[in-house]
Each structure stands twice: as structure tokens, then as C-alpha cells.
Structure 1
Amino acid sequence: MRRIQTTDGHSAGGSMMGIIDEREEALEKEYIVKLERSFHIKARRDRLLARWAAELIGRTDFDVYFDEVISAELLESGDENVFRKIVSDLQDADVAISAQAVREKMKQLLLEAARSLDEAG
């Protein structure tokens, strides 16, 4: 087994398999952190989106409406069910807004959610 020596003469690590295992573990941790961050950003975005839509359609029961939006997301992973739910609710309330405007709002709120998460630490 070959060990890498540092400039001060100490061993810098173990076997090549040990180094590979450490790298794999580091990559897995990084992936988990990114996945968790993505989840938190999306959850914040959905809360902001639900609040925005609730105000437009005149819903005062924000927590109930937010639960409805989240339930739509749970039916199908991704943004499409949330998008369809919001657009449908806006149309049912006769709010004159295009589907494209809703998509743009979703993008804007996603960026806002990411910034607020970064600022929160």
C-alpha cells in the first residue's frame, strides 16, 4: 500500500480505496445538501405563490388554501400540478391573468425564495 507524504513527512491518507470511499461519501453528502436546499426553496416558493394567489382570488383562509396547493403538489411531483391548481383557481374566481403570467410569477417567487433562504443562512 502506497501512502502519500505531505511536505512535513506525515502520511496524507490511506489506501486508494479509502480515498475513493471518502470522495464518494463527500459527494453523497453534497447531493443531500443540494436536494434539501432545493426542497426548502420550493416549499418557500409554494407558500409565497399560495399567498399571492389567495389574495388575488379573495381567499382569507390562507393556511387552508396553502394546504390545498401542497396537496396538489403531492399528487404529482414537480410544478405542473401546482401550476394547474393556481391557474384553475384564478380562472374560477374570474381573475384576468394569463397562464404565462402565472409561470413568470412562479419563476420570480422561486428566485425570491432562494434569496431569502440564502439570507437566512
Structure 2
Amino acid sequence: MTTFDDREKGFESKYALDQEQEFKVMARRNKLLGLWAAEKMGLSAESAEQYAAAVVRADFEQPGEEDVFRKIAGDFKGAGLTASEGEIRSKMDELSSIARDQVRNEA
């Protein structure tokens, strides 16, 4: 193998690792977001865990985070809670940073 081939393999491996880590970060963020939303809706601890898992699953409906946002916003509305789009998106950003730190510290 040439040095170029070695470098290419190295870049491919790093890309795969980065993608795997980003997937873990988003799944963790969605779980934390689900737990936050469950607390706001007054769910019990067991129900909160189930709800958080549902939020994680909601992210698989389509690419991007809009499916997660719609779930949270819709569930808040269904529970009679008012939360602005900005509040939910701000919490998503905040929890993304926390999730990223948590995943990095586990590695």
C-alpha cells in the first residue's frame, strides 16, 4: 500500500468514527430532551423514561431534527402547555452541548 492509500483509510476511519459519535450525541440529546419535556408535562419517573425513548425513536422518522421538534411541540400543546419555538430550540441546543460533553467523557 502507498502512503496515499494509508491516509485515505485513516480519513475513512475517522469519518466513520465521527459519524458514530454524532449519532450517539443526537440520541443522548433526544433522551435528555424527552426527560426535560416529561418533567414539564408532570410525568412520573417511569413514564418519563418511556416518553424519552419515544422522543429518541421520533428522530428516525425523517432526516434532521424537525421530527423531534414537532413531537415535543405537539405533545406540549396536547398537554395544555405553552412553549415557544425559541424555548424548545434553545433547550435542544443546550442539551446538544451537554450530550456532546457526556459522550466525549465516556470515550
TM over 0.5: yes
C-alpha RMSD of the superposition: 1.3
Asked if 1:69 corresponds to 2:55, the answer is: yes
Aligned with 1:58 (options 13, 18, 42)? 42
1:86 partner letter: I
Unaligned ranges ≥5, structure 2:
none
Aligned pairs (5 A) from 1:1-121? 18-60=2-44, 61-121=47-107
Q: Which has the higher contact order (CA 8 A, sep 6+)?
A: 2
Q: Note the C-alpha offset of 1:111.
A: 0.3
Q: Which deviations, in whole Å up to 9, do the C-alpha atoms of 1:56-103 show, x marking residues without a partner?
A: 112221232123212321111221000100011111111121011000
State the distance in 1 between where 2:17 and 2:57 align.
Answer: 25
State the distance in 2 between where 1:75 and 1:40 align.
Answer: 17
- Check 1:76–1:98 CA distance in 2 against 1; reply closer, same or farther (3 A cut): same
Larger helix percent = 2
1:91 partner letter: K
Higher radius of gyration, 1 or 2: 1
Compare 98-107 and 61-70 and name the one that shifted more.
61-70
Q: Which deviations, in whole Å up to 9, do the C-alpha atoms of 1:21-64 show, x marking residues without a partner?
A: 11110000010111011011111101100000011112221232
Unaligned ranges ≥5, structure 1:
1-16
TM-score normalized with structure 2 length: 0.90
Structure 1 runs (4+) greater than 3 angstroms displaced = none
